[in-house]
Amino acid sequence: MALKSTVHKVELSVADIDRGYYGDHTLTVARHPSETDERMMVRVLAFALHAGPELSFGRGLSAEDEPDLWQRDLTGAIERWIDVGLPAESDVRKACGRARDVSVLAYGGRAVDLWWDGVRDKLERQARLDVQNVPQEASRALAQLAGRSMKLQATIQEGHVYVADGATSVAIELRRLK
Q: Is residue 126 part of a domain?
A: yes
At 124, which CATH number?
Answer: 3.10.640.10
Nearest to 156, CA basis, from 17, 11, 31: 17
Burial of 66 (0-12, 13-18, 19+ CB in 10 A): middle
Q: Are strands 78-84 and 69-72 parallel, antiparallel or unpaired?
A: antiparallel
Q: Is residue 111 part of a domain?
A: yes
Range of the domain at 97: 51-144
pLDDT digits (tens, 9 = 90+) for 74-102: 898 999 999 999 999 999 999 999 999 99
Q: Is residue 75 part of a domain?
A: yes
Q: Which residues pair with 70 in a beta bridge?
A: 56, 81
pTM of the model: 0.93
Euclidean distance between CA atoms 54 and 58, whole angstroms: 12
pLDDT digits (tens, 9 = 90+) for 5-60: 889 999 999 999 999 999 999 999 988 888 899 999 999 999 999 999 999 988 76
Q: Is residue 68 part of a domain?
A: yes
Other beta carbons less than 10 A from residue 12's beta carbon: 21
Q: Return the pLDDT at 61.
A: 56
CB 70 within 8 A of CB 95: no
Q: Return the pLDDT at 59.
A: 73
> Based on the structure, what is the number of domains in the chain?
1
Euclidean distance between CA atoms 78 and 110, whole angstroms: 31
Q: Is residue 27 part of a domain?
A: no
Q: Is residue 79 part of a domain?
A: yes
Q: Is residue 106 part of a domain?
A: yes
Q: Is residue 69 part of a domain?
A: yes
CB 12 within 8 A of CB 48: yes
